[in-house]
Structures are given as structure tokens and as C-alpha cells.
Amino acid sequence: MLLTTCGSIKASANYSPAQVLSTYNFNFYYTGTTAFLAERTDSMHEDITVVKISNRGNAIIRRFVCSDSMIRRIKISLGYFDNIQRFIEATRGDPLLGCAEKYNGLRIRRLPHWNAAIVALAQQNNSFIPSWRSLARLIANYSDIQRLLGRDIYVLYDPARMLCKLTGYRGFFYGPDTCIKRYEMMDKLPLVKRDIEKQIKELREITGLGYRANTLLVLAYSFASGLVDTSSPDKFYYSLRQVKGFGHYSARLSTLLAYGRFRFPPLDRWTIRLASYAYGIPAKADSVEEEFMRRFGSDAGLAVFFLTVMLDADRFPIALSRVKEGKICPLKENGLSPLTLWKHDLVNGGKRK
């Protein structure tokens, strides 16, 4: 089958496909001119959309099969319908986000629920570079590979496949029920428990996820067994909160990435401490959330996303120094940052098994 041009998204003064696709993206999904949107239609089939950025900055959507509903879904995933002008107006003169207006073409890409939760997991108690390096190596080693336009496109294992991998299931065919039972019986079956421990150790060595590797196992089980409810933003958030090792921050970030739910800010220590200094408020989550809601209203979650981009997700001492000096626009053209992540190979050193 040949790729077919299905439609396009026009760039404008208030929307930039290039900014959307290049931010927080990997070099195996974005080249600077071409993006690959990879996800699963089910456990055995992958779906890949190719988005080409034209000389004028427009996005040309190419697929093997086209439909109006699919094009609309892609536009939703790229934040095309998000109106953030109210947020941009609220950031003018802000000591943290006063530079956001220069990036008013940026939006948050929507991710499949499972992918969103894994991105959030990698961020737990972690700084920018280690978290995204771990995530890149996880995707590169725990995915199926499709060859397209001369490139390897990674399509992350679905929760059932991930669970089978992490529970050491060696059958040729796999299904959720078999691997769910292996997980549930691991404390009663020493051989299964040993298999799981071996797989978790290997996962840590390959990705550098550390303790998060154990949480990934629980997360895969929770998705595969239906404990995570993806039918609405509220149900998704509250069901994630029931997953052991998945706290308030991770559940909020997952919901932000999956649904574009901007109202509730995912607050980590980095954001809380920066906001405390910039706004002169206590370094407490409740105080910072209240201040973000006061300043940005229903876009408080979007504000946190923009903050990481504006300050290049720098380590806290560097970010704080920049805020004190008023250097609140992105500075890194080639160094590792949310805007330049795609320019770097973060997989090198994480050997594929």
C-alpha cells in the first residue's frame, strides 16, 4: 500500500504544527520536517500517520487509509481546536510565563491513555534528562517496529503485551487473561515470581527507570485488567489514583496529556518551588495551585506545561537563577530541552533486547 495525502493543517499566527510536533518529541518520531504519529488500533495492529511540515509551516497529513473522522481525530491530538488566547493574555507580564506569547502556536499533543500514563510515570521524582532518556529507551526496547520511509517506527507494546513481557510469559500467542493470572499468582508461584524479578531487573538495566520499573508492572496490570477506566477524564484520573505507586501528580499529568484537561495543574517540587519564589507564596502544593488557578483559571494545567518549556526544564538551581534574572524565554538551541529533545539520540546506550 502507498501513503495517501489525506488532508492538511494550515499554520497561522496562533497555531504552529511545527512547534506542536517538535516539543517533547524524540528523534525517532520527528526529524525536523516529518513526524510519525504511532499508536495501536488493538493489541496486534499498529496505526501510523505521517505528518510532513511544508516550507510554509503547514502540516500535510499522509496515511495508508483516509477518513474524515480520522483526520478530525488527528487534528484533536495535535491541539488544533484548542483556543489558548485567554491563557496567552493572562501570561503577559507574568514573572514565570511572560515569554509564553512568543510561543502562542504551541499546543499540548494528546497521547493515547496508556502512553500518557507511561510518560507521567517516567517523570516521577526525576529531572528532565534522566526521565526522558528512560522513556526513550523504554519505547525503543518495548515496542514493535514498523519500517516506513526508510526509518524504524516504534509502536509501544499495549498494556497486555507489556504485562506478558514483564511477567516472563514465553508462549507464542499471548492474551490478557494468561498474563493477568501470572501477575495475580506470582506470590504463590515461585517460578513465576522469579521470572518477573528477572524481567524487572532487565527493564531497570535497559531503561534506567529504577523503582519505577515495579510501578510499570502494576500499571500494565491495571490497564490490562480493566482497573483503569478511560471512559472520561474524571474516571481516568480517579482510577489511576488507585494504582499503587501512582500519585496525585502522575494522575494529573496523565489526564492532561490524554485529554488536554487544562484545569488541574500537575505540581511537582520543581514547579512548587519556582512558583513560591516568583509569586511570593508558601512552597506548598495547595498554595501554588490556588495561585495558578487565580492567575490562569481553567488553564492552570496548561501553565505548568508552558513553564517547563519556557525554562528549558532546567534543573531547579539553574531555573531559579534564570527567574531571578528575568531570563524566562527558552535559551537552548541545541542543548537538551523540551524544544530540542528531537535533535538528540537518547536511546544510544540502551541496548535493544
User: What is the rounded average pLDDT of the residues 151-160?
Assistant: 95
Q: How confident is the model at residue 350 (pLDDT cuts 50, 70, 90)?
A: very low
Q: How confident is the model at residue 297 (pLDDT cuts 50, 70, 90)?
A: very high
How far apart are the C-alpha atoms of 144 and 47, rounded to whole Å?
12
The confidence score (pLDDT) of residue 39 equals 86
Q: How confident is the model at residue 194 (pLDDT cuts 50, 70, 90)?
A: very high
24 touches 312 (CB < 8 A): no
H or E segment to which residue 235 belongs: helix 233-240
Q: What is the mean pLDDT of the chain?
A: 94
How far apart are the C-alpha atoms of 235 and 202, rounded to whole Å?
33
Tens digits of residue pLDDT in 217-229: 999 999 999 999 9
Residue 181 has pLDDT above 60, yes or no: yes
Residues β-bridged to residue 350 = none
Q: List the chain domain ranges.
A: 1-81, 84-328
User: What is the rounded average pLDDT of the residues 235-250?
Assistant: 96
In percent, how much of the chain has pLDDT > 70? 96
| Domain topology for 84-328 | Endonuclease III; domain 1 (1.10.340)
Tens digits of residue pLDDT in 301-334: 999 999 999 999 999 999 999 999 999 999 988 7
Q: How confident is the model at residue 259 (pLDDT cuts 50, 70, 90)?
A: very high
Residue 351 has pLDDT above 50, yes or no: no
The confidence score (pLDDT) of residue 41 equals 67
C-alpha cell at 155: 509502536
**Residue for grid cell 508552558:** 306
The confidence score (pLDDT) of residue 83 equals 96
DSSP string, 284-315: SHHHHHHHHHHHHGGGHHHHHHHHHHHTTT--
pTM for the predicted model, two decimal places = 0.94
In percent, how much of the chain has pLDDT > 90? 91
Distances, alpha carbon 261 to alpha carbons 32, 80, 162, 235, in Å: 28, 15, 27, 13
Residue 275 has pLDDT above 60, yes or no: yes
Nearest to 80 by CA among 28, 32, 8: 8
User: What is the rounded average pLDDT of the residues 56-72?
Assistant: 95
User: What is the rounded average pLDDT of the residues 39-47?
Assistant: 73
How far apart are the C-alpha atoms of 8 and 62, rounded to whole Å?
9
DSSP string, 45-65: EEEEEEEEEPTTSPEEEEESS
The confidence score (pLDDT) of residue 111 equals 96
User: What is the rounded average pLDDT of the residues 92-114?
Assistant: 97
How far apart are the C-alpha atoms of 309 and 215, rounded to whole Å?
27
How far apart are the C-alpha atoms of 214 and 223, rounded to whole Å?
15
Nearest to 117 by CA among 306, 303, 27, 243: 243
User: What is the rounded average pLDDT of the residues 110-130?
Assistant: 96
How far apart are the C-alpha atoms of 154 and 166, rounded to whole Å?
18
CB proximity list for 52: less than 8 A, separation 6 or greater: 33, 34, 59, 60, 62
260 touches 116 (CB < 8 A): no
CA atoms 141, 146, 147, 153: torsion sign: negative
C-alpha cell at 321: 537563577
- Tell me the residue length of the chain: 353
